[in-house]
């Protein structure tokens, strides 16, 4: 940023302490009010203090105390982004399609959920059981 404005700063011809000791703040503010580069001073100060914690904004600049500059900076700050509500998670199905009726898996699902068991599922279950007994396999037949 061009700092040529500082050459016209009213405070240049005074003791800088006036801007930094509370006892002379009123005097400092009075000088700032009549300063021809107050606007540029304000912008440069807010810029310089942009990362400064509010409690460490010291002295008078552009006629404002540190607290007043903090307030101004806060008022200028952009609104925080709107937080989108979290999407409601989809009901888990284990990432798989539910087995259709007429399969042993659907039969077991009906049992687990306490649902009434329809005939195609009952038939599928019985067929699977028959197959299980017939083959003597220790494992239930591969499910649909």
| Chain residues that interact with ligand SF4, rule: CB under 6 A | 9-11, 31-32, 35, 37-38, 41, 61-63
Segments in 2-138 forming alpha helices (H): 25-33, 38-48, 66-76, 104-113, 119-135
Provide the 3-class DSSP secondary structure of residue 31. Answer: helix
Q: Which of 11, 121, 124, 128 binds Zn ion (CB under 5 A)?
A: 121
The verdict on 101 binding Zn ion (CB under 5 A) reads yes
**Nearer to ligand SF4 by C-beta: 27 or 132?**
27
For residue 124 the two structure tokens come to: 């599928």
Of these partners, ligand SF4, Zn ion, none, which one is at the site of residue 121 (CB under 5 to 8 Å by kind)? Zn ion
Contact (CB, 8 A) for 121 and 110? yes
Of these partners, Zn ion, ligand SF4, none, which one is at the site of residue 46 (CB under 5 to 8 Å by kind)? none
Of these partners, Zn ion, ligand SF4, none, which one is at the site of residue 9 (CB under 5 to 8 Å by kind)? ligand SF4
Contact (CB, 8 A) for 5 and 37? yes
Query: CB 142 → Zn ion: shortest distance, Å?
Result: 18
Among candidates 96, 97, 119, 95, which has minimal Cα distance to 107?
119
């Amino acid at each position: 940023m061009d700092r040529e404005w500082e050459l016209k700063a009213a405070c240049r011809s005074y003791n800088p302490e006036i801007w930094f000791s509370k006892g002379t703040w009123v005097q400092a503010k009075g000088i700032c009010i009549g300063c021809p580069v107050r606007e540029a001073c304000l912008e440069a100060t807010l810029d310089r203090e942009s990362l400064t914690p509010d409690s460490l904004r010291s002295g008078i600049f552009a006629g404002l105390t540190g607290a007043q500059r903090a307030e101004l900076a806060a008022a200028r700050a952009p609104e925080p982004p709107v937080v989108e509500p979290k999407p409601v998670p989809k009901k888990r199905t284990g990432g798989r399609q539910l087995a259709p009726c007429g399969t042993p898996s659907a039969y077991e699902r009906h049992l687990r959920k306490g649902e009434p068991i329809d005939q195609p599922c009952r038939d599928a279950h019985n067929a699977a059981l028959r197959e299980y007994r017939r083959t003597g396999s220790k494992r239930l037949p591969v499910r649909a």
